[in-house]
Amino acid sequence: MWCCQVFILALFAHTIATEFHSSAAHAGISFESHSPTQGPDAVTPTTRPKRRVYGMCPPQFQRVGTDCYSLVDQRSSWLEAHFFCKDKNANLTEPGKHADRKLRQFLQKQDALSGEKDPIWLGATYDHHNSRWQWSMSGRNLTNDSFSHTDPTQPLDNNCAIYDPNLKYRWSARSCSDKLRFICQHKMPKVSGQNRYRIYNRWNATYPNEQANEVVLEILEPRENDRRYRRVKAEGSDEEIIIPNRRRNNNRRNNQRNRQNQNQHPNDVNYQPGQQRQRNRPRVTTVAPAAPQSASPSNDVLASRPSPQQVTQYDRKLQRQRERERRRQVRRQERQKLAREQKREKQRRQREERQRVQRLRQEEQQRRQQEQVSNDDPKRPEVDELRQRSEEDKERKLREEQQKKQREEQDKKQRDEQDKKHREDQEEYQREQERIRQKEEEQQASNHRQQLKENQEQQDRELKAKQQREQQEREYQQLKRERELELLKQRQTEAARQQAADDEAEKLRQERIQKQRQLEAEERREREEQHRKQREEQEKLDRQNHEKRKAEEQRLREEYEEKLKQANTEREKKLAEAHEAKRREELELQEQREKQEAERQEQIRLEQMEEEKRQELQRMEETRRFEEKELRRLHEENLRREEQQLQREREIALREAAEKKLAEEEEMLKKELLEEERARKERIEEDLRQAEEVRKAEEAKNKAAEEAKAEEQKRRLETAKKLADEEVQAKLEEKRRNYVNRISALSAEDQKKFIEMRKRRKLLKEKKEREQKAKELKRIQQAIRLGENE
């Protein structure tokens, strides 16, 4: 229990020390010294490296202070502007007090450049239920501090806020249905360089193939006792921006305080300072210098990393080359490692061989000394026994050495086999590489030939297409000429037909005029005959009337004379005379009227005759003018036809000359094409011949290189085989010498026993072989019988 507590305390102390150390290193302070004033040995605090973030604005937006704004010249109502900004993942601007000042300066500059003077929509609307101005996106109330002096009697229902250029861009109110400009506001994200891709990939969906605007913000040192805000400076300018740090949500007291006052804002009309504790914090605004703000550099929207489908053929070829190079390096490292192991093994064998030779020399020297001692010693049997035991030990050691040599030979054989296999693999790999190279060369040569063939086919196709186009052009020109000749013939036929029709029409017109004249003469004769008959009838009627009047006059006169004769008084006579006078006056009046009527009728007749003559003359004049006009028309038509005929003859002559010229040019082009085709074929044949010569030279070179390589490999194999045979022969000689030495070291009886034992072993081996062959033969015969039975 105590051990566990001690271990936990030690671990806790180590953790605290580690945290202090990391905090000190992060702040540039060392806690290893007891006092900061320890002289030259004290660790001086290191300056913290300056960090950078990126303030990013979407395409079509510009940075103004700590936010991004876009002034849209499209005329829209307030609701249309609201949804337009919402489609851009933004909102109609809702500036604070200090941001509003910067925004007014920005709008003044923009309108001074463009010359616009129309109002601009804001994101504020009037709530007529609560009689307050509210921001549309956040729903917060706003003050009237930025509004100009408005008429309180004017109703504000269905009104929205605007920037009014006529009021120095102070706020004002207009009907929400008016078509005005508007300005959108977008939050300016401040991210690190690693997180820029996320922002760009998100903006690519809304603003495809457009440029974004970003500015590099250098984080300055925070002010003392206030780490809730950061001061940053825009790159390329002296402008300093104060932005808030990230707020952590683990502060329960601040969350409660924020929840209490989340419905009120310092810009709210109903805001009461006593309800909220005053905070000694700077405003979120910018400190702009007197110099004008420099334009932030615009960058293209960064594309995402390429997908595997976007890897080109060149990239795949490069990957294959890198993979082959990597495998080549791995094989080279393996060969180097194997060579080092072989070298170490060879050194080890040489060292063991030297030790073995030295040991054998020492043993041989000891044996000689012992023999010399034994020859001098009278105790010969004991010495012989010792010598025999020593010889047995030597034999045992020799057997062990032989076994060890056999194991080494087996190991060496295995290594040789491995080396041989490795060499074979390497040679196989080289042959494979050579085959690949030859295949690539053949592929390149075939590709070259294919390319030449394709080029030739392409040139043939182009020549054929050119010839077809020329043939089509010639056919088209021939067809055009035939059509023109046909058209000329048609025109001539039409002109002849028109001439015949005109002649026929003229003949018919003359006949019609003649008939008209005959009809007019007949009508005139008929009218004259009618007038004559009317005059005769009128004269006859006049004579009858005159005779009637005379008879009546005679009757009346007779009646008057009778009345005078019968009158008895003077008065009756006077009445009869008066009546007679009256009758005579009436008769004179009647005669006068008749005379006037006859004169009037005569006058009318004369006027009719004059009118008829005048009309006749007019008709004759019109006929004359018409005939003159027709004559002029016919004359002009004849001149025009003669001109057209001359023009057609000239055109025919020109076409014949053009056809002749085209035929000559066609002959020249045919000759040029034939010359060009012959030159091209010669050039292609020359290229093919050169390519074939190059290919044959490459094949001869490769064949010579392969033969030289094969000769070199054969020579190396023969040398290696000779060395191996010499080494095997030396080993056999060494083994035979050792065998002879061992046998000569034995006594006569032991040698005889050893020879008999060898004979028995040989006999047993031959017997086993015969038995094995008999078993094999028996098995084969049994298999044959089974096959026959089946």
Greater model confidence, 405 or 341: 341
pLDDT digits (tens, 9 = 90+) for 511-546: 888 888 888 888 888 888 887 888 888 888 888 888
Q: Give the best-scoring range by mean pLDDT among 208-212, 261-265, 301-305, 722-726.
A: 722-726
Question: How would residue 267 be classed by pLDDT, with cut points 50, 70 and 90?
Answer: very low
pLDDT digits (tens, 9 = 90+) for 237-247: 667 777 766 65
pLDDT average, residue stretch 58-64:
88
pLDDT at 202: 79
Residue 360 φ/ψ region, left for φ over 0, alpha for ψ in the -120 to 50 degree band, beta for the rest: alpha
Burial class (CB in 10 A: 0-12, 13-18, 19+), 58: buried
pLDDT at 75: 92
Percent of the chain with pLDDT over 70: 79
The domain defined by 52-249+281-303 folds into Mannose-Binding Protein A; Chain A (3.10.100)
Pair type for strands 180-187 and 120-127: parallel
pLDDT at 297: 37
pLDDT digits (tens, 9 = 90+) for 367-420: 777 676 655 555 455 556 666 777 777 777 777 777 777 777 777 777 777 777
Tell the residue number behind the tokens 């300066």, with chain if given: 105
Q: Which among 434, 444, 362, 432 has a CA at the least distance from the CA of 695?
A: 444
Interatomic CA distance for residues 219 and 210, integer angstroms: 28
Say whether pLDDT at 28 is over 60: no
Say whether pLDDT at 473 is over 90: no
pLDDT average, residue stretch 559-587:
76
Rg of the chain over all Cα atoms, to the nearest angstrom: 69
Interatomic CA distance for residues 74 and 87, integer angstroms: 15
Interatomic CA distance for residues 348 and 325, integer angstroms: 34
pLDDT digits (tens, 9 = 90+) for 166-202: 888 888 888 999 999 999 999 888 888 777 778 877 7
DSSP character at residue 172: E
Say whether pLDDT at 285 is over 70: no
Kindly give, in sequence order, each residue whose CB lies less than 8 Å from that of residue 202, ignoring residues fewer than 6 positions away: none
Whether the Cβ atoms of residue 124 and residue 134 lie closer than 8 Å to each other = yes
Interatomic CA distance for residues 450 and 457, integer angstroms: 10
Greater model confidence, 339 or 445: 339
Distance of CA 131 to the CA centre of its chain: 54
Interatomic CA distance for residues 603 and 605, integer angstroms: 5
Strands (E), 165-319: 170-175, 180-187, 190-191, 211-219, 229-234, 240-244, 286-287, 298-300
Burial class (CB in 10 A: 0-12, 13-18, 19+), 67: buried
Kindly give, in sequence order, each residue whose CB lies less than 8 Å from that of residue 275, ignoring residues fewer than 6 positions away: 261, 264
pLDDT at 81: 93
pLDDT at 9: 61
pLDDT average, residue stretch 33-47:
41
pLDDT at 687: 83
Say whether pLDDT at 348 is over 50: yes
pLDDT digits (tens, 9 = 90+) for 86-104: 988 899 999 887 888 889 9
Interatomic CA distance for residues 553 and 737, integer angstroms: 211
pLDDT average, residue stretch 709-728:
82
Question: Is the sign of the CA dihedral 367, 369, 370, 375 positive or negative?
Answer: positive
Say whether pLDDT at 260 is over 60: no
Q: Which among 300, 329, 332, 84 has a CA at the least distance from the CA of 186?
A: 84
Say whether pLDDT at 165 is over 80: yes
Mean pLDDT, the chain, whole residue set: 75
Render 337-373 in DSSP notation, one character per residue.
Answer: HHHHHHHHHHHHHHHHHHHHHHHHHHHHHHHHHHHHH
Tell the residue number behind the tokens 């006068």, with chain if given: 592
pLDDT average, residue stretch 26-44:
38
pLDDT at 290: 38
Say whether pLDDT at 121 is over 90: yes
Say whether pLDDT at 143 is over 80: no
Cα angle 289-293-297, degrees, rounded to a multiple of 5: 140
Say whether pLDDT at 748 is over 60: yes
Q: Which among 746, 755, 738 has a CA at the least distance from the CA of 405?
A: 738
Tell the residue number behind the tokens 């609701």, with chain if given: 79
Say whether pLDDT at 312 is over 90: no
Q: Which two tokens stand for residue 320?
A: 């294959």
Range with the lowest mean pLDDT among 38-47, 234-243, 454-463, 623-632? 38-47
Interatomic CA distance for residues 611 and 615, integer angstroms: 6
Say whether pLDDT at 24 is over 50: no
Helix (H) or strand (E) holding 739: helix 570-745
Question: Is the sign of the CA dihedral 258, 263, 264, 267 positive or negative?
Answer: positive
Output phi, psi for 49, to 5 deg. -65, 140
Interatomic CA distance for residues 36 and 43, integer angstroms: 8
Greater model confidence, 15 or 756: 756
Interatomic CA distance for residues 733 and 177, integer angstroms: 118
